[in-house]
Structure 1
Amino acid sequence: MNNMFFEQSINDFLESISSDEPVPGGGSVGVYNAATGMALVIMALKISIKKANNKDKLINLIKRSQFVIDALKVSLIEDIECFSSLMKTKNKPNKNETENKIRQVATNEAAIKATDVPISAASHCVAGLHIAHEAITICRKTILSDVYTGANMINTSCQSILLNVDANISLITSEAKRNSYSKEKNKLMIEASDLLHLIKQ
């Protein structure tokens, strides 16, 4: 995984986002936001563990939360890389039938990858919301606002990340694949929203 992104300061990251370059864009920024929300949940768990009688469940949730963050870090880099690859296909030569066919194949493959990545990232968000739902039952009441904030951020990120599915799906030639991705996208959006509703109850 390319670690150059994670060596940036927050200021450099913000400048990268606000530049005229297409990456980092909505997908990678959404993933970063989800990881930040997950970090808030971890903070709440770590504060709660200090005075907990039974620490095992809290420790388990912290480990699972860290796994989600690590997975989101991978998704963030993958999002930048796959979108960059998709953009490059538009610059491939297209002067004759052979070149046109090569470009179409390359675009289709890049679009599939650029759709796989947000689907995967959104599934990590859903996993994070499951953890947040468990966390509200065992975290200290004085820190629950951070769990709620983290869950809100994760859900918003999930919905935003999945916008990339809509952006890339039309470039996929297989109707079966397009339908499959659409169904998975809708499933993840609904599951994330339902989990957030449960967390806020």
Structure 2
Amino acid sequence: MGLNTLEELRAFCNDLSSDRPAPGGGTASAAAGSMSASLLVMVCGISLKSRKLEDHWPALLEEKTNAEHLRDKLLDLCAKDSEAYSELAAVFRRTREMTDDKEVLAARDPAVRNATDIPLETARNCLQLLRISKMVAQIGIRNASSDVEVAIELAEAGLRGAAANVRINLTSCEDGEYRSRMGTEISSLLRAAEDMRESALRRLRPQSL
């Protein structure tokens, strides 16, 4: 790890350590997902150099491209989550003294939905990473199996963290239909993630190529 990379990571961790409302758990969840994606890109890249895996090169190249795309999306979601939660906190401060419930709802609802939609997107992307992990666990180079396992656990952590953020933000939403729809999707994502994680981990074998 280069000095610049280490300093950037330190700066990010210092931001997470601050008493400001953002960045927080939503940003950390997206960051976990982006690290999962980065590990999958790395494992696919190494696997593409192995002649023993030549039959799998087309699939590995496709999954490498998919993981790169998800990595970039999740990095964008890190910034978007911080921005959304900062705006949500600002809206709640501005509306604290309002007495008209309709005005409060009109001011808060868009910010609440935005702060909910973004971690939901993080969760969706992390589920896609678990799908990729399952494939890479099967066809990737065995010497990097521990890296795939870390990618699996990071993707699940990102998804579960994002789900927690969705659920807590939904408590501030007055729209029952929206709460129900988002809650149903998050529950579905969590169930799918658990099944996919277990399936991916079963595909990892200890022997080396």
Report the AA paired with residue 27 of structure 1: G
* Paired residue total: 194
Q: Hey, which bits of structure 1, 4+ residues long, moved more than 4 A?
A: 93-98
Matched, 1:79 2:73: no
Question: Which structure 1 segments of 5+ residues have no match?
Answer: 1-5
Report the AA paired with residue 164 of structure 2: L
Pairwise CA distance, 1:107 = 1.0
Partner of 1:151: 152
Which residues in structure 2 correspond to 1:106-185 (within 5 Å)?
Answer: 106-185=107-186
Report the AA paired with residue 84 of structure 1: S
Q: CA RMSD in A?
A: 1.6
Say whether the 8 Å CA contact 2:127–2:193 is kept in structure 1. yes
Quote the Cα distance in structure 2 between the aligned partners of 1:10 and 1:191.
Answer: 31
TM value normalised by structure 2: 0.88
Residues 142, 176 of structure 1: CA spacing in aligned structure 2 closer, same or farther, 3 A cutoff?
same
Pairwise CA distance, 1:95 = 4.7
Residues 95, 58 of structure 1: CA spacing in aligned structure 2 closer, same or farther, 3 A cutoff?
closer
Say whether the 8 Å CA contact 1:86–1:114 is kept in structure 2. yes
1:66-117 CA distances to partner (integer Å, 9 max, x unpaired)? 011111112111111111111011121555545x533321211111111111
Matched, 1:23 2:22: yes
Quote the Cα distance in structure 2 between the aligned partners of 1:197 and 1:93.
Answer: 45
Partner of 1:36: 35
TM value normalised by structure 1: 0.91
Question: Which structure 2 segments of 5+ residues have no match?
Answer: 203-209
Partner of 1:3: none
Report the AA paired with residue 113 of structure 2: I
